[in-house]
Chains A and B, each alone.
Chain A
């Protein structure tokens, strides 16, 4: 069977739990460092952004309604499935020129990050919320509520961790996400759709678009139904314009850069405080 035809994978988008090609039909080539063509990856368009935001909006409320413990379980499941896909993701990174040791380290860090945020899920409220001491006969409670739909600009050269480093904390807090990555990260971004799809993450909570930041991010920054945009991986030249656009519709613009700490968790939620009359 040496003359068997190889079945090549079509690298597609991940929107609403499905793997569509771009609505526009466009693709872009991803090549090895020596110029060999690796794949034509779907190039998301404005209408894919629109569809992804619609899917994310539809999924967000029930996702936020799950218990933090359950969201943590699902994040842990992502780590489990990632472990099984580690060699494939490593190979896809190596193919675009990432040194083997760096590729392995990136995938391992992404898995560890998923576990970190899995553990964070049911501790968030304890860390940032609680009962506030107030001078008056009121019970005053603060807790973390998700922002809603988050757009995530993931770095083109960030590998697996560049994508999951912002996806995991965002969904940990109960948001649904539309993540955009292009360039060398396109192959693993597309494959991560398969990881998420098999990890009990409800359809629409995570949407992954491969394509051009300059084309897609302005639509996301302008979109009134996107509550936050994380600019961690946005090209430097775009950031000023994107921030101006987010100011237009009072969207939160964050810069988490995939850090695993409380500040990142806080970037993806807001604190809601309620006052209850203390008399019962």
Chain B
């Protein structure tokens, strides 16, 4: 389905999902890191800060992906998702909750058809190392159970050994398997080794039909960082310019503070435009971030420093 060729200007991907061949160019790591560092350190104050914090809350995928997850924990998390700050009913719910496949039905039951979507990881998360038919079956099952969104991992083994067509075709098969649900494809940037590889993986994932590309599983010590976020945002922008398709971005893992979140909003706004500052196109996959956002909003609202211990752990 995908052909890969190389010419003087870079790597050319030509898949059936594409109307035009897609070019993957080299990435200037130094410039990327400089620019990312500058964008995320922008100072956001007063009304803009409050707006940014509220937007961040609306963009959160409240996540629990632990071996010790229970239906009770998922129900509690869904309650928080619907009302992030018990003291402030006006605060908008988060975008989605993200759980393992076995808990999708529980989450869906708790959330009903309300504003909060249910996302499920599937496809042998987090390693992606199982047979394709099993991974696809897992995806179909999650959708049957009521998941609106499915987060899959790419086949890093195939990518790193140069079998780009395998990576592409597996994602394409997942795209078919999710049907009307949204497909978020996790690149696991911490395992890819270079920005070129991240850009290449982004392009393949988008070419294969992903609705959203996502940085990481959150299971590695290195997850979303400003340079990887910028690298992927630039890939989304370039992909959009070449094909006219809109792809979302999800940053997962390592985003713990409101300050980081505001920095990433600035990065996305500067790279992709403010059109991307909506929950449809941009997400934070996080568990602890929501608490810090709520605490910062409480401080902005009351002018008094809140007590972190007042909010639930995790």
Nearest CB on B from A20, distance (A): 18
Nearest CB on A from B262, distance (A): 16
Nearest CB on A from B288, distance (A): 15
CA distance A224 to B309 in the complex (A): 10
Residue interface mask A242-276, B partner, CB < 8 A = 1 = 00000011000000000000000000000000000
CA distance A234 to B131 in the complex (A): 70
CA distance A57 to B306 in the complex (A): 13
| Interface residue A40 (Cβ < 8 Å from any Cβ of B) | no
| Interface residue A50 (Cβ < 8 Å from any Cβ of B) | yes
Give the interface centre of A57, A223, A224, A225 by most chain B CB atoms within 10 Å. A224
| Interface residue B244 (Cβ < 8 Å from any Cβ of A) | no
CA distance A275 to B303 in the complex (A): 40
| Interface residue A212 (Cβ < 8 Å from any Cβ of B) | no
> From B310, which residue of chain A is reached at the shortest CB distance?
A224
Residue interface mask A194-231, B partner, CB < 8 A = 1 = 00000000000000000000000001001111000000
Nearest CB on A from B93, distance (A): 24
| Interface residue A53 (Cβ < 8 Å from any Cβ of B) | yes
Contact A57 B308 (CB under 8 A): yes
Contact B304 A225 (CB under 8 A): no
On chain B, the residues within 8 Å of A224 by CB distance are 304-307, 310
Chain A interface residue count, CB cutoff 8 Å, equals: 10
Residue interface mask B281-314, A partner, CB < 8 A = 1 = 0000000000000000000000111111110000
On chain A, the residues within 8 Å of B305 by CB distance are 50, 53, 219, 222-225
On chain A, the residues within 8 Å of B307 by CB distance are 224-225
Nearest CB on B from A81, distance (A): 32
CA distance A222 to B308 in the complex (A): 14
CA distance A57 to B310 in the complex (A): 13
CA distance A57 to B295 in the complex (A): 15
Contact B309 A225 (CB under 8 A): yes
Contact B306 A222 (CB under 8 A): no
Contact B303 A225 (CB under 8 A): no
CB within 8 Å of A: which B203-254 residues: none
CA distance A51 to B60 in the complex (A): 26
CA distance A224 to B306 in the complex (A): 5
> From A222, which residue of chain B is reached at the shortest CB distance?
B304
Nearest CB on B from A235, distance (A): 21
Give the interface centre of B305, B306, B310 by most chain A CB atoms within 10 Å. B305
Residue interface mask B139-173, A partner, CB < 8 A = 1 = 00000000000000000000000000000000000
CA distance A196 to B98 in the complex (A): 46
On chain A, the residues within 8 Å of B308 by CB distance are 57, 225
> From A50, which residue of chain B is reached at the shortest CB distance?
B305
Nearest CB on A from B97, distance (A): 28
> From A148, which residue of chain B is reached at the shortest CB distance?
B309
10 other A-B residue contacts (CB within 8 Å) besides A53-B305, A222-B304, A225-B307? A57-B309, A222-B303, A223-B305, A224-B305, A224-B306, A224-B307, A225-B305, A225-B306, A248-B304, A249-B304
Residues on A facing B (Cβ under 8 Å) = 50, 53, 57, 219, 222-225, 248-249
A–B complex contacts, Cβ < 8 Å, 22 sampled: A50-B305, A53-B305, A57-B308, A57-B309, A219-B305, A222-B303, A222-B304, A222-B305, A223-B304, A223-B305, A224-B304, A224-B305, A224-B306, A224-B307, A224-B310, A225-B305, A225-B306, A225-B307, A225-B308, A225-B309, A248-B304, A249-B304
